[in-house]
Structure 1
Amino acid sequence: MATIATLERQRKLVPIEVHLDRGEKAWRVLYGTPDFIAWLDSDLVSLKTTIIGCEIEPIEQVDAVFHEYVSGLYMHPDDRFKKLSCRPDHFVWEFKTLDIRIFGWIPRKDHFICTFGDMKDRIELMRSYGTYIAKTVYIRTQMALQPTHIASAEYHNVLSNAH
């Protein structure tokens, strides 16, 4: 049975640092798997927006949604933060930006573990939501984290708000 601290020491989880403005404090915590961190550092930086007229590139979109999350702002369900539907329910969640979807799970309130990121258009074209859900559940199972996840679809059970 692993804890988040154990998985950090084993380098199976990496804390994601988010720049906060002066006076802001971290309210929530983000982690990524090593593969997710590699995606952030290499793939994400080269992606371009597919939204006509959008001046915000995917990396800036991810920075913004991560800032909202860590600073404790309300994450509008279905718009910025969503539990994905699946039968049976696996309690996999996603961060949503105009161009990007980031998949992961919530092992305890206000803690999110990111496993995969991809372009929204690519996910929809390839119909890969189910694949990302299954891969996220597989990684979660392999980590043997205790508790594994919060089995709730209710926002207030997985996130608290600073404001």
Structure 2
Amino acid sequence: MATIEELYTLGKIEKYVPDLGPDQHIERVLYLSLELVEWINTTLSGMPRRAGRDLTPLEQVDNIFSNYISGKKMVGEYQKLMPQKYAVWELKTADIRIFGWFVRQRVFIATHADTATNIKGQKLYRKYIKKVRDYRKRINLTNPKYTTKGLGDVL
């Protein structure tokens, strides 16, 4: 068994480190599964900006990750998915849905993502909850692997 920090040191997960402005500081930690890193580098990076949007999907994800890490207030971007006992969370941008969990307060691991259109149109929420739970079981993370606390307690 390993801590989340040890898994990072071993190269089993990545830490997202944004370019923060001079007035921004790291307030929270965001880890990414290697599967999600691959999806970002191959699929997300090639998605064009949709009509009526100011940002590409990749820019949206970068912004929300940076906002999370810099400690900005997150209202409406996070949602704990049902059933809540599994403590799987969804991080939302206009075009992308990112799934993962809080290991503890201010430490989130994002494991999977897809477009909002796919998630909603194909009703994939249960599939992604299962994917997160399966990933959480596979990694050799020390207990407790996640917290079931509410958003006010984990941010």
TM-score of the aligned structures, taking structure 1 as reference length = 0.89
Q: 2:133 aligns with which of 137, 144, 148?
A: 137
Q: Helix, strand or coil for the counterpart of 2:129?
A: helix
Q: 1:104 aligns with which of 100, 105, 113?
A: 100
Residue correspondence of structure 1 range 88-103 to structure 2 within 5 A: 89-103=85-99
Q: Helix, strand or coil for the counterpart of 1:118?
A: strand
Residue correspondence of structure 1 range 15-34 to structure 2 within 5 A: 15-34=15-34
CA positional deviation for 1:94: 1.2
Paired-residue identity, % = 34
Q: Distance in 1 between matches of 2:80 and 2:48?
A: 26
CA positional deviation for 1:84: 0.9
1:157 aligns with 2:138: no
Q: Which residue of 1 aligns with 2:60?
A: 61
Whether contact under 8 Å (1:80, 1:96) holds in the other structure is yes
Q: Distance in 1 between matches of 2:109 and 2:90?
A: 10
Whether contact under 8 Å (1:91, 1:151) holds in the other structure is yes
Q: Distance in 2 between matches of 1:49 and 1:149?
A: 34
* Paired letter, 1:150: T
TM-score of the aligned structures, taking structure 2 as reference length = 0.93
Q: Distance in 1 between matches of 2:151 and 2:122?
A: 28
1:123 aligns with 2:122: no
CA positional deviation for 1:117: 1.1
* Paired letter, 1:72: G
* Paired letter, 2:29: V
CA positional deviation for 1:3: 0.5
Q: 1:89 to 1:49 in 2, by over 3 A?
A: farther
Q: Deviations over 1:121-143 (max 9, x none)?
A: 01111111100000101111111
Q: Which residue of 1 aligns with 2:6?
A: 6
Q: Distance in 1 between matches of 2:43 and 2:118?
A: 14
* Paired letter, 1:134: K
Q: Helix, strand or coil for the counterpart of 1:75?
A: coil
The unaligned stretches of length 5 or more in structure 2 are none
* Paired letter, 1:95: L
Paired residues, what number? Answer: 154
CA positional deviation for 1:104: 0.4
Q: Deviations over 1:65-87 (max 9, x none)?
A: 111100001111xx21111112x
Whether contact under 8 Å (1:49, 1:99) holds in the other structure is no
Q: Helix, strand or coil for the counterpart of 1:2?
A: coil
Following TM superposition, the consecutive aligned residue runs of length 4 or more in structure 1 with deviations greater than 6 angstroms are: none
